[in-house]
Chain A
C-alpha cells in the first residue's frame, strides 16, 4: 500500500502549480519604422474565454502577442469571451467583448485596465461628443420582437446613462455630423431578417428615421463625402452579400454595388473590401477582394493584394501614414491566425502569427 501511495504522490507531482500566467512575447517583424502603431483584438472562439489583445510597436517594428494578462494580472478571466470591436477615443482604448457582456476600457498607451461598461450582448462601439455608444443584440426592455438597443455611456464613470431601442440585433454604427446610423441584422430570426438602418439624432438621443436597405445588415462606414457604405450579408441562400450607399443628406439609399462584403476599411477615397461569402446551397465559401472609389462610387479594382495565400481573410485596416494594408487571416477559425501587411501596391511586406480569430485593428494615431 505504501508503494501505491508513493506512486500517487509521483503522479500528483505531474501537475504544474495552480497559478499559471499569461506571457506576452515580442517578435520583430519589420525594419520599416514609419508604420503606425496599433492594437489588434483576437476574438477567440465562443465559450473559450480566448479573447486576446496584441500590440504592434511601429517605431520598433515589433509585434507583441497577448499583452493584456501580463499588464492586468489581477483581472479575473482576462479580457473575456468573443471580442467583437476595438476603438480608441480620447486617451482610452475600448474593447467590446460580446460574450462577456461588457466593454473593457483601457489606457490608450499602456493597455492598463481602467474600468468596464456593462452592456448585455454588446457588438460594436462608436463615440460622439464625449459619450460612448454601444450596440446590443439583447432584447430592449419592452420590445416584443427582440429589438436590440444602443446604450449611451459616460467616458469617465463608465455608467450607462440611457438606452434607445433600434432594430433587431444591431451591428455596426457610423456617425455623420450629429446623426448615428445603425445597421440592423435581425440575425436571431433567419427566416425574417431585419432590413433597416436606424437613424438616431445624437443631440436628443431619439430615433428619427428607419431606412429600408437589404436583409441582414452588418457594417456601416462613413466616407469623407457624407455617404455611408452599408454591407448586407445576404441570407446565405439566394440573396447574395452586397454593398449599399446611403446619403446622409437625404437619408436614403442612393446606390448599390454588386460585390460581396464581409469587411471593409475606408481610407481617403478608397474603400478596401474583403469578402468571404458562405453559401448554404453549395456549402462553400467564395473569397474576393475589391476597391471602391468613394468619390465616384464605383468599383475600381477586383483585387488589391498580390500572391495572396490567405485562407479566410477576416479583418482589414489601412495604415493612416503609410497606406499599408493590414489583413487578418483566421484560417479555419481554430488555429492561431496570421496578420499580413501589404504595401499600398499590394506587395506583401511581412506577416506574423496572432491569437485565435484576429479581427479588429485600431491605430494609435
Chain B
C-alpha cells in the first residue's frame, strides 16, 4: 500500500520533467541552481556531463580535448577542487587530486544535472553537502514502471568523428511491487584523432591529434526498494575501466607523446530513508576503490620506463537527521565519517597517507510565508597520518553558511535571495605528498562567498508557456589558494599563493513560447561576467571576463531541432595579463536534429559547424567540425 505513494511521486516527477524547458530554474529555489534534465539533456549535443555543463553560467570547463581528455569544471573561478560532485546524493571524491573528471560520466545513464552555488538549498542532507563552494548533483535514471510491464529497457548506439563507437544497454526490471532493479552498461571506444590547426606569424600548420584514444567500460547496477513503512532504500554498484592515451601539449617537435593511463574505479553505495512523523532520517554508506596506472615512455628510470601505480580506498558513512519543531521551523544534524587511504608504487618519497575526515553539520531552516531562512555550521575535523616522512598534520575548521530567500510581492513569481558561506578546503594528497611537487607544509584554502540575486519565473496556460529570468551578483575571496608553481625540471612545487578576489555576475533568461500550435520552442540565454584577480591585481589564468551560451530548440511532430552556441571570451594563460599570454575567445555553433517513431529515435549532430580551431587549455587543441549520430530503441 505504502509503496504506491512513491510510485505516485515518481510519476509526478516524470510528468514535471516532460514539461520542463531546456533549463529549469527551480521556482522558489533558495540557493542559485541551474538544472538540465530529462528530454533537454537528450537534446543537447553532449556526450558527457562535461559537455552538458558548458551550458551553465558561472562555470569554466577545463577541457584537454577529445573524447578521452580530462574535463573538469571550475565554478565561479574558485578552482576545480572547490566543486563537490555528487552521484545520487553521495559525493564522488578523489583524495589524490581532488577533482572529478566529468568526461567519464556519460549522459546515457543520467536523468538530471543540478548545479548549485553554495549548497543544495535543503538542510536535510549529508554533512558533505555543506562542504563545497558549489555542488553539482548527477542523478542517475531510476527505473519507472507505469503499467503492468515488469521489464523494459533501452539499447543505444553512438558513432561519429574521432572513431567513436559507443553502444549502450539499459535494462529495468520490476522485481516485486516494492523492489525494482536496473542494470546499465556502455562501452566507449575512440581513436581520438582529429585535425587541428595553428596559425601564427607567417605559418599555417594543420596536423592530426594523436594519443587521445580511449577504450572504456562502464557497468552500473542498482536496486531500489520501498519498505512496508514509509522507508525507502537503494544500493548501487559502479564499475569503470578505461585505457587511454594522454594527449600532451602541442609544442614544437612534439605533436604527439607517449603517456598512457589505465583507470579502474569501483564503488558500492547505498542509502536508506525513513520518516517518523516529524522526524526524518537518512543513512548513506559507500566504499570506493580507485586504481590508476600511469606510463611515460619518454622517462626511463633505472628500472625502465616510468610507471606509477596509485591505489586509493575510501570508506564513507553518513547519517542525516531532520526534526520539524514547528510547521515553520526545521532543525537538522548530519555527521559524516570518511577514511581515505592512498598507496603508490614507484613514487619516491611518497608518504602513504591516511586521512580521517569527520564532518558534523548543524542546520536550521525557518520557513515563513514570504521568507525562507537557513543557517548551518559545519565542523571539519581532519586527522592525517602518514606511514613515512612528514604528515600534513591535523586540521580543524568551523565554517558557517547563511541563506535567505524572500518573496517581496504577493505574486510568488519574483524571489530575492542572498547567501553568505565560508568554505574550508583541505590540500589533496598530491598537493601534500606527490614526490617533489608535494608540500606537506601547505595550509588549507579558506574561502568566503557572498551572493545576492533575484529570480522571476512565470508559467502560463496560454501561448507563452514559460518565462524565467535570474541574475546573481557575487563576491568570493579565497585565501591561501593552492597552486602549482613551476620551476626547472623536477622542480614544480605546490604553494599557497595568497589571495584571489572574484567579482561576478551570472544571468540567464529562459522562455518557451508556442507561436504555432504544433511547434514547441525553447530559448535559453546565459551570461557570465567574472573578474577574478590575484595579489597583483591580474586576472587569474583561464578565466574569461565574459562568457555565455545560447540554446534553442524547436519541436514539431516527430522532429526536434536543437541549436547551441557557446562563447568564451579572451583569457590569459599566464599569471600576468600581457599580450604574450593572451588566448583568443572561442565560440562554437552546434546543431542537432532528431526524429523518433514509436520507440525508435535517431539523432544526428554537427558540432562546431564553422570549424573553428581553438584551445581551451593553451596548446591543447580542440576539435574542429565533428559529427555524431545516435540511434536508440526503447523496449
Whether B253 lies near A101 (C-beta < 8 A) is: yes
**A47 CB contact (under 8 Å) in B199, B201, B251, B349:** B251
Q: Is B589 among interface residues, defined by CB-CB distance under 8 A?
A: yes
Interface residue tally on A, bucketed by range: 35 or more
Q: Is A48 among interface residues, defined by CB-CB distance under 8 A?
A: yes
Instruction: Give the distance in Å from the alpha carbon of A36 to the alpha carbon of B439 in the complex.
Output: 42
Whether B253 lies near A189 (C-beta < 8 A) is: no
Q: Which 10 A-B pairs have the closest CB atoms?
A: A80-B252, A100-B253, A146-B300, A81-B251, A77-B252, A139-B300, A73-B201, A73-B202, A47-B249, A49-B251
Whether A100 lies near B202 (C-beta < 8 A) is: no
Give the chain A neighbours of B436 by CB distance below 8 A: 190, 236, 280
**A188 CB contact (under 8 Å) in B202, B306, B587:** B306
Q: Is A75 among interface residues, defined by CB-CB distance under 8 A?
A: yes
Question: What would 25 A/B residue contacts be, using CB atoms closer than 8 Å?
Answer: A8-B589, A20-B200, A20-B201, A21-B201, A49-B251, A74-B201, A75-B203, A76-B198, A77-B200, A77-B253, A78-B200, A81-B254, A99-B253, A100-B251, A101-B253, A120-B298, A139-B300, A143-B300, A145-B302, A280-B436, A283-B441, A333-B485, A333-B486, A334-B485, A335-B576
CB distance from A75 to the nearest CB of B (A): 7
Q: Besides A100-B252, A101-B254, 13 other CB < 8 A contacts?
A: A14-B585, A15-B587, A48-B574, A76-B203, A77-B200, A77-B250, A79-B252, A81-B249, A99-B253, A189-B302, A192-B302, A334-B574, A335-B576
CB distance from B443 to the nearest CB of A (A): 11
Instruction: Give the distance in Å from the alpha carbon of A183 to the alpha carbon of B348 in the complex.
Output: 23
**A49 CB contact (under 8 Å) in B552, B574, B619:** B619
Question: Which residues, 532 to 579 on B, are CB-close (under 8 Å) to A?
Answer: 550, 552, 565, 567, 569, 573-576, 578
Whether B254 lies near A99 (C-beta < 8 A) is: yes
Q: Is B149 among interface residues, defined by CB-CB distance under 8 A?
A: no
Whether B302 lies near A8 (C-beta < 8 A) is: no
Whether A138 lies near B298 (C-beta < 8 A) is: yes
The DSSP consensus for interface residues of chain B is: loop
Q: Is B435 among interface residues, defined by CB-CB distance under 8 A?
A: yes
Whether B573 lies near A48 (C-beta < 8 A) is: yes
Instruction: Give the distance in Å from the alpha carbon of A191 to the alpha carbon of B493 in the complex.
Output: 19
* Beta-carbon nearest neighbor of B567 in chain A: A11
**A48 CB contact (under 8 Å) in B390, B435, B618:** B618
Instruction: Give the distance in Å from the alpha carbon of A18 to the alpha carbon of B199 in the complex.
Output: 6
Known contacts: A18-B199, A138-B298. The answer to whether A81 contacts B252 by CB under 8 A is yes
Q: Is B326 among interface residues, defined by CB-CB distance under 8 A?
A: no
Q: Is A336 among interface residues, defined by CB-CB distance under 8 A?
A: yes
**A76 CB contact (under 8 Å) in B205, B439, B441, B490:** B205
CB distance from B351 to the nearest CB of A (A): 11
Give the chain A neighbours of B585 by CB distance below 8 A: 14-15
**A46 CB contact (under 8 Å) in B299, B439, B486, B575:** B486
* Beta-carbon nearest neighbor of B248 in chain A: A47
Instruction: Give the distance in Å from the alpha carbon of A328 to the alpha carbon of B254 in the complex.
Output: 28
Whether B440 lies near A76 (C-beta < 8 A) is: no
Instruction: Give the distance in Å from the alpha carbon of A66 to the alpha carbon of B200 in the complex.
Output: 14
Q: Is B597 among interface residues, defined by CB-CB distance under 8 A?
A: no
Most buried by B among A50, A79, A82: A50
Q: Is A30 among interface residues, defined by CB-CB distance under 8 A?
A: no
Give the chain B neighbours of A102 by CB distance below 8 A: 252-253
CB distance from A245 to the nearest CB of B (A): 24
Q: Is A170 among interface residues, defined by CB-CB distance under 8 A?
A: no
Instruction: Give the distance in Å from the alpha carbon of A268 to the alpha carbon of B439 in the complex.
Output: 41
Give the chain B neighbours of A89 by CB distance below 8 A: none
Question: Which residues, 332 to 362 on A, are CB-close (under 8 Å) to B?
Answer: 332-336, 355-356
CB distance from B210 to the nearest CB of A (A): 15
